[in-house]
A and B are shown apart, each in its own frame.
Chain A
Amino acid sequence: MKRLAVLVLLLPALVSAAGISTGDTSRRALSKAMEELDDAQRERFASGRGLFDQMWVIAPSTDEAVDGLGPVYNRISCVACHPGNGRGRAPDAESEEMRSMLVRLSIPGVGEHGGPLPHPAYGEQLNEQGVPGVPGEGRIAVKYQDIPLFLHGGTGVTLRKPSLVWREAHYGTPDGVLTSARIGPALVGMGLLEAVPEAEILKWADPDDKNQDGISGRANTVWDAAVQQNALGRFGLKANVATLRQQIAGAFIGDLGITSPLFPHENCSMAETACARTVNGGNPELSAVQLDDITFYHQTLAIPERRQRDTAQVQRGQQLFQQAQCAACHRPMLYTAANAKPDLLSQRIIEPYSDLLLHDMGEPLADGRPDFAANGYEWRTPPLWGIGLAEAVGDQVHYLHDGRARNLLEAIVWHRGEAAASQQAVWAMTVEDREALLAFLRSL
């Protein structure tokens, strides 16, 4: 609270998240509109929600506004990977399909504008599905090796270490490919994260660990396709996307095969000739208005209010979170800029529990796949707001970038690299303290 007091003194115009947050704790807790929306904004929100829930259609179709799925794709709707705007999950067994998970691909080297170098036959993402007449690209399964551990106090945890296995490869052997599996992340608060001033994020960066706390934090510099220049990356698991609009357009082309004003070309590689011959759903398939509406939807989803903030256990957990230095990366409090759009996002104090920076998370979590300035060990600190509602929103949820963790404790135990000291602190806690820490996380 001390930091909040300082912020409020320094920036007296800031206001809390009242009016843009929700106390809903139901299955739909992450799907509510911000209360402050006016009628016209609610219409726009509903339109964006419709596109998010839309099951996209293969072209040609009489429903021209929603056709253009594929030719290769992963799932047919956004909501398939982000159920209720919450988290996806990893397959639990090698025989299971990836339903809300995908695999990024690249080959060693640097691609256009400094990003990953796409695989010549498979592109930047494995698209398992193809429209009729176009083969899907193949299938990668996940195998697990169980690692049983005992934390201080006797708490048993069994981590599952994933390996990716190519099961089918329809466009040639994918030799030398770099892979990175990702589950769909929760989607609340994206507009507010975009509204955090760049200077505020950079101020927190400590790439050379000058304060010698063992935690650095680097900003990613990425290509902004809209303005055709480099920009600070703040979205995506490696902070590899500059803007929310581009993040959404990227998901449309990467996951659904839907072109947009930002990515107007179908995702067919040179090897995918049937893909290139397929009828499209317009040029682009997602109009600028549709892209703006779905961006607005994500900007204005209400953020969940903290729960049980005043209970002794949660307060103890919050202290432990600070003591274990979790807050050095999972930064509790940020503020948004005065000129943020839409207006209702401006000058807010927010509690995302992220610094939006890259951190080396150590070998166990590394994917070995660079992405702009992020190396194969680095990940952007994922925001924790709403994480305590994950199980209320989804039937079965997993944690960490590839869903290997089945609960929050497993997720903590996987932390290494810059987070090793925090992980060790949690490891060494009494059972009661660890429960308090988890209660605090569930209150977010």
Chain B
Amino acid sequence: MKSFAQWFGILLLASTGSSFAEDLTVMTSYPEDVVSRFEEAFEKAHPDIHVQILWRMPHDALPYLLQPQQGGVDVYWTPSQGNFLALKNAKALGPIGIDRSGLPDKIGTALISDPDGLYLANETAGYGMVVDPDKLGKLGVAEPKRWQDLADPRLQGEVALPVPSGVGFAPMLIDQLLQAEGWEKGWNTWRAIALNSKLIDKRGNAITDEVSSGRAAVGLTMDFFAASNVASGGKGKFIYPLKTAFNPAQIGITASTTHRPAAETFVSFILSEEGQSLLFHPAIRKLPVRPSVYSKAPEGYTNPFTLGIDARYDPVPGLARSGFNSALFDAAITRRQDALLKAWASVRKAENGASPSEQPLLQQARTALEALPVAEPTADSPLVKACEQRRKNTSAETQCAAAEREWDAFFTAHYADAQRLADTVLAARQGKAP
């Protein structure tokens, strides 16, 4: 081994038992592609601070951060506006004493950072459609401009639609249309789109995979999934519809941190020119909130500050009812997509060449297919609160599950009614009993 040691200089015991860097605990739900690049760049810039990442999805992070001393977490950094609001209300966030010059509080009319400065936006991402232009061309369908364009019957089976109860970003996608169109019209648009859709209940990047692999012509997704896929060599084109929403991600420092200067150094880095430019990486492709860095963006990069689309969205009521909306979506669409599809197919068939005497029955059928068991709820409705809390306590789960069962029965009955009415018209037309 002597010669081996000479060649390799195997192991120098330089020092033991001492720590050279201050530990900073950061909780996040960002994926590895984001976390590792920021972590590495930060530690290069600040070798005196060692970042330990604790990873939790937002629903799992909130109870952790509401523990005494926030479970030892110093910085919370994640796309979950609801959690930041809840942490602020619980006084679990402390002040962020950093220089905020060059960091606007709003994109367009949408507020992205806390007005009291307890959490600050660090990036944003918009909702839209990733399309395969070649496949659309073969189907004879123009590139969609509005969400409603996805209801085109020629797109049957060609739309990848995320299920809000299963895909983290989807509740806000669903709700932005409900806010933009109104409750009833919005739900009918979602049901019309669902007629063409494959429902996706996995991770967000599964949507881009569906389009990139040719299994779908359109996918409803967030801009960065599509942009990073394209920048990494994948297929597809991202389109923002005329009305959509942008979802900001934020960063805050816990009230109980004992590493405030290090935490502020980390936040400053994330929001610095260097940190914000990391978002341009082909594997990330999120939208910086520091407008000045867009001058260094790759060609064709979206700048939300100059995009000029209608992105009015109020996240506060939307966040409050996301569990409620998800439960309603599952009852109306996820669990009954086949029945909905079959009933609509029969109604449309019956409508083809329908006589005036058949119209009342067909109108009844349409009404049944578009019926909703609940009016638009207010944010403080007990059921809205129960559905939001259902993962956290048993009585809330019981209450929300009971509502879901009622909705299940409602949609089952209404879709069956529509089916029966359409079948009646078709059978009568052929001189048969239904």
Contact = CB atoms under 8 A, between A and B. Distances in A.
A215 to B, nearest CB: 21
Interface stretch (B9-17, B111-119, B218-226, B238-246): B9-17
A209 interface: no
Contact of B9 (A95, A163, A173): A163
A63 interface: yes
Interface stretch (A164-172, A327-335, A423-431): A164-172
A413 B160 CA distance: 50
B259 to A, nearest CB: 13
Contacts of A46: 202, 206
Contacts of A161: 7-9
A278 to B, nearest CB: 14
B57 interface: yes
A62 B63 contact: yes
A330 B56 CA distance: 43
Given A62-B391, A164-B11, A364-B7, A76 B16 contact: no
Interface in B263-322: 282-283
Contact of A53 (B15, B32, B71, B391): B32
User: Which residue, of B3, B13, B39, B282, has the highest number of chain A Cβ atoms within 10 A?
Assistant: B13
B55 interface: yes
A58 interface: yes
A283 interface: no
Interface in B41-100: 43-44, 47, 50, 52-57, 59-60, 63, 71-72
A26 interface: yes
Contacts of B4: 363, 366, 368, 376
Given A27-B233, A62-B59, A77-B32, A167 B203 contact: no
A153 to B, nearest CB: 26
Q: How large is the interface on B (under 10, 10 to 19, 20 to 34, 35 or more residues)?
A: 35 or more
A276 interface: no
A163 B56 contact: no
A24 B235 CA distance: 11
Contacts of A83: 32, 36
Interface residues of A, number: 52
Contacts of A111: none
A168 B11 contact: no
B266 to A, nearest CB: 15
B10 A63 contact: no
Nearest to A132: B72
A97 B44 CA distance: 9
Nearest to B44: A96
Contact of A368 (B10, B202, B234): B10
A168 B72 contact: no
A165 B14 contact: yes
B378 interface: no
B40 interface: yes
Interface string A130-141: 001000001001
A55 B43 contact: no
A26 B36 contact: no
B14 to A, nearest CB: 5
B35 interface: yes
User: Which residue, of B55, B56, B71, B282, has the highest number of chain A Cβ atoms within 10 A?
Assistant: B55
A209 to B, nearest CB: 22
Interface stretch (B18-26, B142-150, B151-159, B356-364): B18-26
A367 B363 CA distance: 79
A138 B17 CA distance: 8
Contacts of A376: 1, 4
A275 B217 CA distance: 50
A80 interface: yes
B393 to A, nearest CB: 12
Contact of A173 (B12, B13, B234, B283): B13
B258 interface: no
A97 B406 CA distance: 55
B10 A163 contact: yes
Nearest to B47: A95
A129 B55 CA distance: 14
B353 interface: no
A50 interface: yes
Contacts of B31: 53, 55
A346 interface: no
10 contacts: A28-B232, A55-B31, A55-B32, A57-B55, A62-B391, A132-B25, A164-B11, A168-B16, A170-B17, A368-B1
Given A166-B15, A363-B8, A376-B1, 18 more contacts: A26-B233, A27-B233, A27-B283, A28-B234, A50-B203, A53-B32, A55-B55, A63-B60, A77-B32, A83-B36, A143-B12, A163-B10, A167-B14, A168-B18, A364-B7, A366-B8, A368-B5, A376-B4
Interface of A: 24-29, 46, 50, 53, 55-58, 61-63, 69, 76-77, 79-80, 83, 95-97, 99, 129, 132, 138, 141, 143, 145, 161-170, 173-174, 177, 179, 363-364, 366-368, 376
